[in-house]
Amino acid sequence: MPAKILDGTSVAKAIKEEVAAEVAEYSIRGLRPGLAAVLVGNDPASQIYVSSKVKTCGQLGLHSEKIELPDTVTTEELVSLVTVLNSRDEIDGILIQLPLPRHVDTNMVLNSVDPAKDVDGFLRENVGRLTLGEPGLRPCTPAGIIELLDRYGIPIKGVRAVVIGRSRIVGLPISLLLLHRHATVTICHSRTVDLPAVAREADILVVAMGRKTMVGADYIKPGAVVIDVGQHRVTEAAEVEALYGDDPKRWAAFEKNGSTLVGDVNPKDAMEIAGYFTPVPGGVGPLAIAMLMKNTLVAMEMRRGSIT
């Protein structure tokens, strides 16, 4: 029996609808969450990401501002801008779109953001709060994974979870979130001895290594929940056939765009062995923007205390 698909698109839609409803209620009282997105340079991918986030703010009723700067901007100028945004009460979240130009001190810029407005959840203060299990803003993709598991009724308490990847963006925070939900968590990485054997122990396997189709059949426990965080472009027809067979949707995407997407997990193997699987695209990816919207709302509530 093939794995059941965990549909991140539908879960993201539900989260957005819930955020929009709360924003509408607050707007009656003159409150409106606000997000400032800072974009430096003309990187096409960054332009798309930021435009999508700003568009979603508009759809859900949040206030948003896109601040575009040339790639000649200095570290000092960016820090000065962030300081101004920190002081503006109508701005609840500050998003610095990465990567920044090489001459900019990225850490200095990011660390100048007020932790109360760190809607990415990356700053050391919020990482510390996550580590200690204290209230705070959580990284969007890991928080979205927890939402996905919860909304599909997949138990976390007491299960064995293995996370492949230890980045501060996904691997480390999802490990902590699972741990705080009483899973027994193992964090793996490129130097883990006999990685497939460790992965096969997982009831919940989260893969965030950034290596195309690295995880195959020998990594997956029968019936496991497999969460694929990776995203890679496939441009060769032979590879599409090997990964997806005659799947009409994949071939339609390939013929239209000259490529299709795949994750860190071999989808054919996962569909044959796992109990649940997140597809790429349509799995974890759509949750990031939905959780960014939710974080902006939560940031407003936390900054203003317990809004009643």
Catalytic residue from among 16, 53, 117, 294: 53
What is the phi/psi pair of residue 270, to 5°? Answer: -65, -45
Q: Which candidate, 100, 224, 221, 116, places its Cα nearest to that of 108?
A: 100
Q: Which residues pair with 206 in a beta bridge?
A: 163, 227
Catalytic (active site) residue 53? yes
What is residue 233's three-state secondary structure?
A: strand
Q: Which of 92, 118, 120, 203 does the annotation list as catalytic?
A: 120
Please, is 67 exposed, middle or buried when counting C-beta atoms within 10 Å of its C-beta (0-12, 13-18, 19+)? middle
Alpha-carbon distance 121 to 139, whole Å?
4
Give strand ranges (E) for the chain: 4-5, 34-40, 63-69, 93-96, 160-164, 184-188, 204-207, 225-228, 232-234, 260-262, 276-277
HSE, CB side, 13 Å, CA atoms: give it for residue 194. 4
Residue 145: strand, helix, or coil: helix
Active site residue 212: no
Q: Active site includes 47?
A: no
**What's the start-to-end Cα distance of the chain, in Å?**
48
- Catalytic site residue from 16, 92, 97, 264: 97
Residues belonging to the active site: 53, 97, 120
